[in-house]
Structure formats: C-alpha cells, structure tokens
Structure 1
Amino acid sequence: MAREQIKVPFGYEPPAQTRKGTIFVFETFEDWTEADMQAFAAWAEEKKFVRAIFYPQHEETLRRMDIPSKAPYHARVKHLESLLKQTNSSVQLDLDTWEGKRKKYTPMDTSLHFLTDKSPGPYFLCLSDRYANLFVTYPSFKEWIKNLRLYINEQFHVPLHGRLTEYAQRWETVRFGNGA
C-alpha cells in the first residue's frame, strides 16, 4: 500500500510538544490523603506530564528495603484506588499492581524495567526522601539516573545521601503530600 504524500510550506516545523512523558511514583501510599493526591495531581499538571503511574510496593519488598508499613499491600491498593477515583486531573492517573501479582520481593531495577517497557518516554521518577536515599545506594542507580529524571518528595525530612550531589542536574526536590 502506497503512502500518502502531504505537502507543507517551505520551512515548516511541527509544533513543539507541550506535554512530557510518564512519571512513576514509588511509595507505600498508606499515609496519603485526598489532599495529598490533589496536591500531586496539581503538581503533575503544572509539570505537564501525560501520565502518572502509582506503584505501591509489596510488603516483602518494603521489608527488604527496611521501610516500615503498617497496612498490608491489598489494603494500600484499595486506599490508593479510592484516592484516584476522587481525583480529577488532566494527567492520566494510573495504578500498577504488578508487584502484588508477584507476591514477593521485587528489586527496584526490575520494577523500573517493567514500567519503562510498557510506558512512553521520557521517564520521570518520584520518590520520597527515604526511598531516594536507598535508590542512590543501588548499583543500577548510575544507569537509571541517565535514563530518567528524579523528583524527590521531601516527605520525611531525611537528609539526602551525599552521592546525589554528583548528579545534581538530574534531580530536584518537591513538596507535596502529608499536609505539605
């Protein structure tokens, strides 16, 4: 089948894309409120993301990362689903429950590969400050920081890992969630 030819005036340049790619949000989400979700949605709209994927992690993963979680995975997912239903946003807000299907420890590297394989780029990653300090220590961090931009939510007011200063141009801090 032959392609259709289109004519454009000399010097035509397609309009610049006004929307960015996909942001992945890794968190326990057990202490998020409706106000926190609204603040995140407003921030995501301001940054002009196309899609936000919320990725709650299984208890086994959180246990191996030494991150405390009082609520079980399925309860956190139900809580997050109700928050997403109540939130109106021009950004497509999705929930990914792949880790719940695995029902075991999933390394962050594996989760990021899974999410980037099925989502359009460019990629952004939003982590709380305690998650970011752990992510920096992983061997795969050097490769991932080249492929995505990091947003660190100052949720727990934890001092950031010194290794982040090497990549200062690839991350920035934000404030939303937990009444911020």
Structure 2
Amino acid sequence: MSGKYANVPFGYEPVAPSRKGTLIFYDSFQNVTDEQLERAAGIMNTRAFKQLVLYPLHESTVRRMSRDAVQPYHKRDDRLHEWRHDHSSLPIRVEGLEGKRKKYTPIDTALRHIQAEYTVPLFLYMTTEMANQWASFDSFTDWIKELRLIIDGQPGEMHPRLEQYRHRWEWAEA
C-alpha cells in the first residue's frame, strides 16, 4: 500500500477516463499513404484511444527486415511531422527512438520501449506486409499475447502464425 492518503468526501467515485490505451503505427512509412494515416487517426478517434503514436523505422532496420530500398530516416520523419502538424487538434506523437539510436533496432526492443513509455492497452497498427514480416519472427508468439493488432491492407495471403492468433487481430475499417 502506498504511503499517500487522501481525504475524499463520502460517496466519492473517481471519474473514469473517457480515453484509454495507445494506438501505435509501426512502419517504415516509405509507402504509407496519407489515406492510411487518416484511417489510423480515424480509428484512434472512433475507439477513443489516448493518442496515436507514429513509429518510423530507421533505414538499417528496414534493410534488415525486408531488403527494400528506403529513403533516409530524416526525410520520412519530416513527412510525418508535417502530417502531424496538419492535424494539430489530434493527440498524435512521432516516436523518435530509432532516430536517436541511428542503427538497427529489433522489434523486441522497440516493443519493450513502447510498453514502458505508453499507456495500456497497446494496439499495434501495421500494414499487411509489416504484419506478415513480424509474424515470421520467433518473438511474435510472446508479444501477440500482450497486445492487439490492427492490420491495414487487403485480405490475402497471411502468415500461418497470424492465422493461428486470428482472435488477437482485426482488419482496419475502410
């Protein structure tokens, strides 16, 4: 029990927060369109999340995950900050962990940072390609039990582990 006591009037009930949890958009943001960003912001509002966190990946992380060519981190980060500035009325944050590290950051490290930094429940918002890549990692089965997943994209070929944990994820509403 904490050593802090407070006097409250008889019958006092604390006000339940109207917004809970955090929606984290985890992607390289190389091919993410403004419509996908708008869809994520819309889900944040309709589901009453506290905030939307955009988590851009460093180019070395993207190269290790997919071998795709990608723009420099600062260009993708600047684009996200511009988009966030255009939507200044919404609680949107651009996470800068990968920009500070300036090297490959495993998804486990990123998720531990997110778990320590943001309010729960945590919902990861990913594109279909990113979700399939994440499902191929060994640590997927441990993490999918601790958070929920929202996938933005077209239904198609899904990784077998995503099919196994179908009850832990859903498609983003179009």
The 5 A counterparts of 1:32-71 are: 32-66=32-66, 68-71=68-71
1:4 corresponds to 2:2 = no
Runs of 4+ off more than 2 Å: 1-5, 12-18, 30-40, 67-70
After TM superposition, the structure 1 stretch with the greater mean CA deviation from structure 2, 28-37 or 95-104, is: 28-37
Deviation at 1:149, TM superposition (A): 0.6
Deviation at 1:37, TM superposition (A): 2.9
1:67 CA drift (Å): 5.2
Q: Which shifted more, 31-40 or 69-78?
A: 31-40
Please, which runs of 5 or more residues in structure 1 have no aligned partner? none
**Percent of matched pairs sharing the same residue:** 35
Structure 2 CA distance for aligned equivalents of residues 4 and 105 of structure 1: 47
The aligned length equals 172
- Checking the alignment, whether the CA contact within 8 Å between 2:40 and 2:125 is kept in structure 1 is no
State the match for 1:123 in structure 2.
122
Structure 2 distance, partners of 1:113, 1:129, is 22
The letter of the residue matching 1:6 is V
Shift of 1:6: 1.8
Q: Is the Cα–Cα contact under 8 Å of residues 37 and 84 in structure 1 kept in the other structure?
A: no
Determine helix, strand or coil for the equivalent of 1:94. Answer: strand
TM score, norm. by length of structure 2: 0.87
**Residue 82 in 1 paired to residue 76 in 2?**
no
Q: Summarize deviations over 1:148-171 as a string: whole Å, max 9, x none.
A: 11111116x652112212211110
* TM-score between both structures, scaled by the size of structure 1: 0.84
- Structure 1 residues 126-145: aligned runs within 5 Å: 126-145=125-144
8 Å CA contact 2:22–2:52 kept in 1: the answer is yes
Q: How far apart are 1:104 and its partner, in Å? A: 1.2
Residue by residue, what CA displacement relative to the aligned partner does 1:94-134 show, whole Å, maximum 9, x if unpaired? 01111122111111010110111111111111111011011
- In structure 2, what residue type is equivalent to 1:21? G
1:165 partner amino acid: E
Change (3 A) 1:134 1:34: closer
RMSD of equivalent CA atoms: 2.3
